[in-house]
Amino acid sequence: MNPFQDIRSKGLLHAKGLLFLVIGVVGCGTVVLEVPTLRVAFALGAGIWGICRFYYYLFYVLENYAGRDRKYAGLWDALRYVFTRR
């Protein structure tokens, strides 16, 4: 299997998603354990929520509602289009 190919296996895609979840939980848990205050936990949660909503905006809202005439290969492709169009 070429490591630069798209993943086609549903099992591997789910495993990758679970690994991202584990990384996020361990990372956030480490920060909260380092500074165990409600203020830090709330700020961390709000920041993560905001980044997730931005990701949703970039890859779902723009493609399905605002950018129907242009499909993007990814974030860099979208940014290149924004900054180079005339």
Burial of 32 (0-12, 13-18, 19+ CB in 10 A): middle
Given this model, what pLDDT does residue 60 score? 80
Mean pLDDT by 10 residues, the chain (86 residues): 80 92 95 95 96 86 71 76 78
Radius of gyration of the chain (CA): 17
Given this model, what pLDDT does residue 1 score? 61
Q: What is the pTM of this model?
A: 0.68
The dihedral formed by the CA atoms of 31, 32, 36 and 37, expressed in degrees to the nearest 10? 110
